[in-house]
Amino acid sequence: MKKILLLAAFVPLAGCADYGFDPIATISPASSNVQVLDEASTSRLYLSVVNGLIEQGRYRAALAYLDQYAVKERKTAYFLQLYGEALLGTEQYDAAAEAFAELESTELEADGFNGIGRVKAAQGDWRMAAENFQKAVNVRPSSSEFLNNLGYAQLCVGGEAIPAAEFNLRQAQELDPTSTSIRNNLVIALLMAGKEEQARRLLAGIPTMRERAEVQAFAATWLERHMRGDEPAKEDM
């Protein structure tokens, strides 16, 4: 999952255990001439601190602050996105899907579809995951993250979805050639498509022997698991 970029630099969140935590107090002023923040900026900074908790995997703490925020503040698209992420992190799948669904027709619509796709993937419903990742790609076609998620879900569906998975993963790699996740998934797609020589060429481009061996082992294990009908690993996306 691609992380939401923080909008400011923060000092350590030592005071997050208390509900009286003031996120603005964590901002290091650039100079003594600090302008007073308006209400919208204050709200954005608060949610950025919550995003920091989510990035640390502290989903329950994030939910506590989001619930507190929701008492007084308007639920913006950014709030709903973070709320969905925190709910997904605590495995509250139905509630997470509802939060992500509310992003439709907002500036974060693509992230909403991607979020629902990740919920469905976590539940093992790879066809519905692929449908929602496809919607995310339709809204934001140049997102390598969404294309990678779509391609991986299509690999998990298998069968007639394999050619589409290969295409989407190739496109994702051209958009982000440095992504190891996309590369690994493309290796699997090529092997599933019977293109062993192309898979070997892709593996040969990995700079170290150790990493090549690790990717080869990863692909072999994934394919063996898929052939047995075992549940694919969500973290491989």
| pLDDT score at 236 | 56
- 204-214 CB burial, b ≥16 within 10 A, e <16: eebeeeeeeee
pTM value is 0.79
Find the radius of gyration of the CA atoms of the chain.
20
CA nearest to 94, candidates 69, 122, 75: 122
| pLDDT score at 72 | 83
| pLDDT score at 39 | 59
Mean pLDDT for back-to-back runs of 10 residues, the chain (237 residues)? 35 35 36 45 84 95 93 89 97 98 97 97 96 98 98 96 98 97 96 96 94 94 87 60
HSE-CB of 132 using CA atoms within 13 angstroms: 21
Q: Hey, where are the domains in the chain?
A: 1-28+38-102, 126-237
Compute, in degrees rounded to 10, the torsion defined by CA atoms 118, 119, 120, 123. Answer: 120
| pLDDT score at 232 | 66
| pLDDT score at 237 | 62
CATH match of 126-237 with 3.90.1170.50: no
Q: Dig out the tokens for 113 from the structure.
A: 């579809």
